[in-house]
Structure 1
Amino acid sequence: MTATKLRVGAVVITPPTFKASGGVSAAIQLTERIAKQIDSALLLMAEDNGETVENGLRIIRQKAANPLLPLRRLLPRQVVTLAWRANIKPWLREGRFDVVHFHNPHPPGALKAAAQACKDLKIPYVISTHGFIEFNEFSQGFGAPAWQKPLLELLVRRPVVHVAQNAARVLMLSPQEEPVLSGMGVDPRNLRVVSNGVDPYFTIPVSEAERQRLVARFALPTDRPLMLYVGNHTANKGLDVLLRALPLMREKAVAVVAGAIRSQKEHAQLLADNGMPAGSETILFTDFITREELRALYQSVHLFVFPSRADTLPLVILEAMASGLPVVSTLIGGIPFEVSADTGILMKPGDPTALASALDRLCADLPLRKALGDAGRARVTQLFNWERSAEQAVAIYEDVVSNKTSQ
């Protein structure tokens, strides 16, 4: 079977209430490029059924169900989130796909159920490792009480491990993931590297008028260095480390924190736990922002900070580098694959003192910021390309199907 005759179904596993996810964005961008080469469609767990064609890709939104929704005021949000499921088996059967490509491991139970549907229908599947590092770390507790750890192992880690072990191929986003996947018991012969690309949208300069509108809307200071953070306000992303680093800085700078505030109660607790007054002049929260506003933000700040404790290959880092920003981040997951020594500063996670020192260094040194930012833009352009990743994925599909038919 030639690659041009393959039919591929991409499936994005995600809680339908999540409005922004790097894994979901990466899945759509990769599959759009794949659809230019072979017959492809993408199914996304959603709040309602629907079908659209976006950039040449047919996207099916499959309504998901959650039996715990009536109890959402009584149960922790994280518990309710784990219960989302979508019945994708009829779509897989009707699509007559030669191979299925899974993206995103959350909720793990939904991923395992979808993989079982493939097994029942005798369709081989591959899976990209969006979120694998995060889930591997999260399942080990992140400081959770001891009684929670067996539940995390059962409900979070074990389903992801099961799916990865039974995949025809596991598509790593960086070579740094190999030890983690080997630790999950995945056969090394089934590992391949198919990295993320960067959305060219973020390389397009915004007009000065658009940039000034953003500055006015969020009241961005113009007399101090601006340090941008983009991501969920959760423990694995290390926002608490940034909050604790800000009072340690010598330079007068402002951290601009972009990303939806999902719970005002959790937000207030995050500030209180890390000694950050609600009205502090050293930090500014944008709450949810649009794609257009994010691009304008990248082009209105001076550096990008991402003190993550667990990440696979963050798209936001690639976007920041494509925007010409130097990066301050951590030595975890695939981040060292993204950020080289001439494009940013990396450190061990969870160290506010080291983070403050790195931020001070860049805030005080404009030539260094420019040199790192220019090198970062060049690195992204050279190494992280969706078209090349799509070609690699199609070659893997063809190999999987060829092996199946020869058995």
Structure 2
Amino acid sequence: MSSASPSGTGIIYASFDRFPAPKGAAVHIRAFVEALGAAFGGVDLLALRDGSTVSTGPLALAEGVTYHPMEARGRDLVAQALSFRAHLAGWWRGRPKAAVVHVRSIFEGYPVARRKEALTDALVFEVNGLPSIELKYHHPDVAEDAELLRKLVAQEDLCISRADLLVTPSEVTAEYLVKRGADAGRVKVIPNGVDLDVFRYAPPRAWDADRPVRLLYSGTMTSWQGVHHAIEACRLLRRDVPAVLTLVGPLRRNGRRALMDRCGDLLLEGAVEILEPLPQAELARLHHACDVVLVPLPVNDRNCVQGCCPLKLLEAMATGTPVVASNLPVVRTLAGPDEVMLIRPGSPKAISEAVKALRADATLGPALSAKARARVERDFPWGRAQTSLVSAYEEAFGMARASTRRSTSASASD
């Protein structure tokens, strides 16, 4: 990586994600662009306009950050991606060369990688997930499209090879990127963070035999996240104790129908409630109203080969509600057995037994809770992730902070 300062102007942070939105991706984007804006200034954020965002023009988002809402129209993912790329190209036309372009996926990254020398001095590829692995979970109908998969892999390979810095939140993902040909010296692991002022700590609720055990699952309602294991665990648990499962996350129309079919008798019995994504403050309050948070990630290529950094695990640990999570490498890098209950992946029975163990031992939950919160405060506040990102820019590109540039300018004029 070069330490020479970029000659281009400003930082462009582009993402094929809805912003602002209650999803983890939007939280991550805000944390990163705010850090870059405060440190270096001149950040342009290009992201999909959320339906609730009225304005389509530039918006001052934070210190040194301007948000440019983008459109992505089309009936399917490919059409939407091409539409997004067209809007990006229109925005970019006639603008000066950027110092750094920071992308989060191939959907915006591939066109930049192809024309890197003309568009930017440096390219940052932030890898939270790769479509060649993840697409089949979101869009099963394309899983057998070999030609599409070949194109996705080729575009990923180009972005990986042309990136001057690869940022990822997971050690597992970092290892996978190196196997895909990335220079290990260009890979920087920056785990996700938690807003500790929003996800405040509260001791676990005292167990009460007169009320149902309240379980919480938040996040994507798909098999690769293990929502089906959470549902089956609730069904098993109810054979022995009253229990209610709250599911929080985005759902497409077909996904909602499939989820309700899977819940079946639990819905009829009032044992499952399904909620749309919540603002972070409301989600934190919901954590405090529950007895156990479930993070039942199964064994699959998304979780075990590509890797991930489950933000919902860190947020749950921060709130103090006891957590039952799959014993996978992506979990163990964030939490140990004295901080969360680690259970066999893919086993609703193991989840049910862990919840019953928490219920049977009044000291277990508080002990896990306190250590989990301490771990998050030490290792996973957003401030630490933001500092790591800014340092990575300084080390990789020799970029000077805005405050340093102002001081140098003032000294030169004296």
1:276-291 residue pairs with structure 2 within 5 A? Answer: 276-291=265-280
> Structure 1 pair 30/189, CA: closer, same or farther in 2 (3 Å)?
same
Q: Is residue 56 from structure 1 mapped to residue 58 from structure 2 by the alignment?
A: no
CA 1:101–1:79 in 2, change beyond 3 Å: closer, same or farther?
closer
Task: Tell me what 2:259 maps to.
Answer: 270
Q: 1:163 to 1:33 in 2, by over 3 A?
A: same
Matching residue of 2:232: 244
The separation in 2 between residues aligned to 1:154 and 1:313, in whole angstroms, is 26
Which piece of structure 1 moves more, 170-179 or 40-49? 40-49
Q: Report % sequence identity.
A: 21
Q: Residue 325 of structure 2 contacts residue 343 of structure 2 at CA under 8 Å; is this kept in 1? A: yes
Give the deviation of 1:377 after TM superposition: 0.4
Counterparts of 1:304-323 in structure 2, within 5 Å, are 304-309=293-298, 310=303, 312-323=308-319
Indicate the SS of the match to 1:120. Answer: helix
5+ residue gaps, structure 2: 50-54, 203-208, 400-414
Asked whether the equivalents of residues 112 and 119 of structure 2 are also in contact (C-alpha less than 8 Å), the reply is no
Larger Rg: 2
- Is the contact between residue 326 and residue 344 of structure 2 (CA under 8 Å) also seen in structure 1? yes
Distance 1:191-1:4 versus aligned 2 partners, 3 A rule: closer
- Read off the aligned partner of 1:242 and give its amino acid letter: A
User: Aligned-residue CA RMSD in angstroms?
Assistant: 3.4
Measured against aligned partners, the alpha-carbon deviations of 1:85-104 in whole angstroms (never above 9, x if no partner) come to: 2433544863643222223x
Alignment-derived partner of residue 129 in structure 1: 127
1:22 is aligned, of 21, 24, 43, to: 24
2:250 counterpart of 1:260 = yes
Amino acid at match of 2:279: T
Number of corresponding residues = 375
Distance change in 2, residues 1:396/1:303 (3 Å): same
1:216 is aligned to: none
**In structure 2, C-alpha distance between the alignment counterparts of 1:84 and 1:346, rounded to whole Å:** 43
Q: Compute the TM-score of the two structures, normalised by the length of structure 1.
A: 0.79
Q: Does 1:351 align with 2:351?
A: no
CA–CA distance in structure 2, aligned partners of residues 382 and 141 of structure 1: 34
Aligned residue runs from structure 1 range 56-75, under 5 A: 56-66=63-73, 69=74, 72=75
| Residue in structure 2 matched with residue 226 of structure 1 by the alignment | 214
Instruction: Supply the distance in 1 between the matched residues of 2:198 and 2:346 (Cα, whole angstroms).
Output: 29
How big is the shift at 1:197? Answer: 1.8
Is residue 174–residue 189 contact of structure 2 (8 Å, CA) maintained in 1? no
2:43 corresponding residue in structure 1:
41
Change (3 A) 1:241 1:80: farther
**Alpha-carbon deviation of 1:297?**
0.7
CA distance in structure 2 between the partners assigned to 1:320 and 1:92 by the alignment: 43
Q: Which moved more, 1:360-369 or 1:111-120?
A: 111-120
Q: How far does the alpha carbon of each residue in 1:223-272 deviate from its partner, in whole angstroms, 9 at most, with x for none? A: 22211111121222211121122222233221111123331x42122232
CA distance in 1, matches of 2:81, 2:382: 30
Which amino acid is 1:61 matched to?
H
Q: Report the 3-state secondary structure (helix = DSSP H, G, I; strand = E; otherwise coil) of the residue aligned with 1:255.
A: strand
Counterpart Cα distance in 1 of 2:353 and 2:133? 26
Gapped runs of 5+ residues in structure 1?
A: 207-220
Whether the 8 Å CA contact 1:8–1:101 is kept in 2: the answer is no
> In structure 1, how many angstroms separate the alpha carbons of the residues matched to 2:125 and 2:42?
15
Return the offset for 1:33.
2.3
Is residue 166 of structure 2 the alignment partner of residue 170 of structure 1?
yes
Distance across 1 between alignment mates of 2:327 and 2:132: 16
User: Residues 18 and 62 of structure 1: is their aligned pair in 2 closer, same or farther, counting only changes over 3 Å?
Assistant: closer
In structure 2, the CA distance between the partners of 1:192 and 1:162, relative to structure 1 (3 Å rule), is: same
Match of 1:326 in 2: 322
